[in-house]
Chain A
Amino acid sequence: MRVPILLLFSIFVCHSAVAAELNMSTMYSRLTGKRLTTKNPLYLKLNSFAEVKDFNSAAKLIAEEDADFIDVTAKDFSTRMLTIDGDAYGIFSDMTATVMGALRDDIDAREILKGDFLYAPAGRVSAGLSHSIRDNDLFDKFSTAGFSAKKYIQKFSPQWKINNQNLSAGVFTSRGWAKLYYNAGTNRRSVVGAMNSFLCTPIDEWKKRGLPDFHIRRDIDRAPEGKPSTFQNTCRTCHSAMDGMAGAFARLDFQQETLIFSPEVAAKYNQNPGVYPDGYITTDDSWVNYLNDSQGSGPKEFAEMLSNQEDFPLCMAKRVVKQLCFKDLKMNDSYIGSLAQEFKMSGYKLKQLFIKVALSENCYN
C-alpha cells in the first residue's frame, strides 16, 4: 500500500499546484461530471476555443453536444431538485425526464411546473413500452440499459391521452411526482414538496403565525393532548398556509401504483372528520395562498402562481450554483440575485443559466 499512497501524494501535490482560474478542463468537468481527455470528440474544438479564450462558445458547445451534460449533470440536478430531501438516489421517471428534456430543448423553466407535456424515452429503445400512469417500467428499463436520455427522450403533449379534465400541470401531474407526494397521506406533502423544490423554501421558513385557519381540514386536532395553545402556536402556523394551498391537488391521487385524475375530490381530503367536525370540508380543487394573497383552482393555476414568484428564479439560480460550484448560497446573496435576474431576462432558460454559472468566476473561487 506504501507505493500507491506515495504515488497519490506526489500526484496530488503536483495537480493542486495549478492556480485557480477558469480553464477548459475544469469547466468541462463541472458541466458534464467527467474528465476531459485528448480523445474526446469535442477536444479539438474546445482546444481551439481555449486558445482564443472563447469560453462562452466552449460552454455552449459542451451543453449542446456532450450527452453527459443531460445524462449526468441535468439528471442529478433534476433528481436532487424534485425528490424528498434532495435524494440523489431517486429513480429516473417521467418527472425527472421532464426537467432534463426541458433543459435539453431550452424550454421556459416555468413550463416544467405548468406545461401540458412530459418527456419520456421513445423510439426503438422503448421496446414497445410507453410512459404510463400505471408503472415506471419504461424508465426503469431505459435506465438499466444505460441509454442516453439526451438522445432518446421525446416530448409528449398532451401529457396523458386519458386526461380530458384540463388538470395537466407539468411535473405536478407526472406519475413520478404522484408516487412521491400523492401516495397515501393527505396530499399536503405536495405543497411542502412544491415549495421546497421550486422556491427553495423548506416548511420551517414559510410557516407563519396569525394566518386564517379557515382552510384547515377536519382531520387536524384543534387541541392536541387537550391543549388548544399547541394548535394555535404550532399546528396552525404550518397548516393555515399548507391546507389553503393543498386544495390545488384535491382531484389527484395515487393508488395501486397508479396516478389518478378524479372528477371528484379525493376521499383522503375529507378523512377523519370526527377529529374536528367544524373544520374545512374540501368540495373542489380551489386553493388559497395566504402567504401572498393569491387564489385559484387546480394544479395548473397553482403552478402558474408558483412559477411567477420572485423566489422561483432565485431558487433555480441557487440550485444551479450548488450543482456546478458546490456552493450552498443564500437566496439573498447578491450573486444569486444577479443570476436570477439574467435567468428571467433570458426567458427562464435553464441551459443558459447553467452556461452562465459555468463561466462565472464566482464558481471557481
Chain B
Amino acid sequence: MKIAIISLLISSLAYSDAPIFLRKNVELLRTYESLTNVNRDKEIMDIYNAGFVSLPKNGDVTELTDFALIAMLKLSQAFCHKMYLNEVTFAPAERWVLTRLDLKKDVSKWNDNEIAELTSSMGEIFWGEIPDAESSKDLSEVFKSLSKLPQPAAQSSAVGLTCATMLLSPYVYTK
C-alpha cells in the first residue's frame, strides 16, 4: 500500500514543477475542521491523539505511510460522521454542504442525480472543484455499495464514508 501510494505521488510529480508536500498533523486537523465545519471535541481529539505519531510530522511525502493513511481515514471519518449528524439536524438551506438533498430519504433509494449532487457538493467544498466524470463514477459506486447496508447504519455510512473517502484525497492532504 505504502509503495503504491508513494509511487503514485512520485510519478505524478512529472506533471508539475511544483514540489508537493503533505499537510502536517495539526494542519490536517485544522483542514478537516474547516472543510467539514465541525469543531474538535473530546471524541475527535481522542482519535487525533491516538493517531498523532502516525500523522506526518515534517510534511515530506515519505511520511505518507499506511499508518498515516489509516490515521487520516479514522480522523476524516470522525469529522464526516459529525458533519452528517449536523447536516441532518438542519433544514437544507442552513446546512454546510448538502443544501439540496433530502437526507431523510432512504439512501438506497437515491437516484444517480442525487448521488451526483452529493459528490459534486462535497467536491466543491473539499477539493475546490466538482469531481470529474471518472472520479464521480467511482464515488458513486462507493456510495451505492454503502447504501446497501442495513438501516439505520446505511444512512450515515453512505454519506459519512463517501465524505471520508473524499477527504482521504491528495487534494486534501497535500499542499
Interface residue ranges, A against B (CB under 8 Å)? 1, 3-21, 25-26, 29-30, 32-40, 68, 71-72, 75-76, 88-89, 146, 326, 364-365
Contact = CB atoms under 8 A, between A and B. Distances in A.
A9 B9 CA distance: 9
A33 B23 contact: yes
Contact of A72 (B30, B128, B134, B165): B30
Interface residues of B, number: 52
Contacts of A5: 1, 4-5
Given A33-B27, A34-B30, A16 B96 contact: no
A326 B172 CA distance: 18
B94 interface: no
B30 A13 contact: no
Nearest to A365: B17
Given A20-B16, A88-B57, A76 B26 contact: yes
A3 B138 contact: yes
B138 A26 contact: no
B26 A33 contact: yes
A98 to B, nearest CB: 19
B93 interface: no
Contact of B35 (A12, A26, A33, A37): A37
* Majority secondary structure of chain A interface residues (helix, strand, loop or mixed): helix
B23 A76 contact: no
Contact of B96 (A33, A39, A326): A39
Interface of B: 1, 4-5, 8-9, 12-13, 15-21, 23-24, 26-27, 30-31, 33-35, 37, 40, 45, 57-60, 96, 124-128, 131-132, 134-135, 138-139, 141-142, 165, 168-172, 174-175
Contact of A38 (B13, B59, B124, B142): B124
B175 A29 contact: yes
Nearest to B13: A16
Given A8-B8, A88-B57, A40 B175 contact: no
A34 B24 contact: no
Given A11-B170, A36-B128, A16 B34 contact: no
Nearest to B173: A35
Contact of A37 (B20, B60, B125): B125
Contacts of A38: 124-125, 128
A20 B168 contact: no
Contacts of B168: 4, 8
Given A20-B17, A146-B40, A88 B24 contact: yes
Contacts of A34: 23, 27, 30-31, 33-34
Given A16-B16, A326-B19, A39 B24 contact: no
